[in-house]
A = this chain, B = another copy of it.
């Protein structure tokens, strides 16, 4: 919880700056999510993952109701099996919504921190009335039941996204149960719990934020950005 409390003071952009410093060139960013509801402040929590697959998938449907066991403080990270994902919009092959208002009502009751849905959601008004934070790729109106089933809870999930290499179709971002999710209107960042420099990353964040606050002040006084960035970030 100390980690969560620390991260709540920063933004996903701040976390990405620290991840870049420690070798993560994409800054842990999970692209293409839209903030659909919830307050303006940063949301932080450890990932509680739910994996959906096609009803025809050989794996059995999980009997438990994932939402009834979501831990307090967790961020729900819900993804489709990789073959149902697309690196281009609408980012999923499934036009049914994966998640809706009753799920946020229950998540909110159980004290979850937020829901990051790598798919469509429905019932926009309900999430907003609850002031419960939800991110999604898009919206929908139809429940998931007719086309997909839950096949995993707290399993690692893989997210297919565009990559710079022209001869490959996609890159995969992995989210493990327990990884830290930091999200706001800029989107969501995953901070791998097992990153070998985890504590260095946490310690770097406030130093970098302090330096960049000074850069911002310098620029507002007329100093060139490049000069100020060089000076203020010199010891980082």
Contacts and interface: CB of A to CB of B under 8 A. Distances in A.
Contacts of A90: 31-32, 88-89, 162
Contacts of A83: 166
Nearest to A161: B95
Interface stretch (A9-17, A43-51, A199-207): A9-17
Given A83-B166, A90-B32, A225-B102, A142 B27 contact: yes
Interface residues of A, number: 72
A164 B93 contact: yes
A103 B27 contact: no
A29 B219 contact: no
Stoichiometry, copies per complex: 3
A225 B88 CA distance: 33
Contacts of A103: 225
A187 B140 contact: yes
Given A86-B88, A109-B220, A123 B13 contact: yes
A61 interface: no
Nearest to A20: B146
A41 to B, nearest CB: 11
Contacts of A19: 142
25 contacts: A11-B123, A13-B123, A16-B142, A17-B143, A20-B143, A25-B96, A25-B147, A26-B146, A28-B142, A29-B96, A31-B90, A65-B226, A68-B227, A84-B164, A88-B89, A93-B166, A94-B162, A102-B225, A103-B225, A106-B219, A106-B224, A109-B222, A123-B186, A140-B186, A141-B186
A100 B166 CA distance: 26
A145 interface: yes
Given A31-B138, A86-B88, 14 more contacts: A13-B100, A20-B146, A25-B96, A25-B142, A54-B164, A65-B224, A83-B166, A86-B162, A88-B89, A94-B162, A102-B215, A109-B222, A124-B186, A139-B186
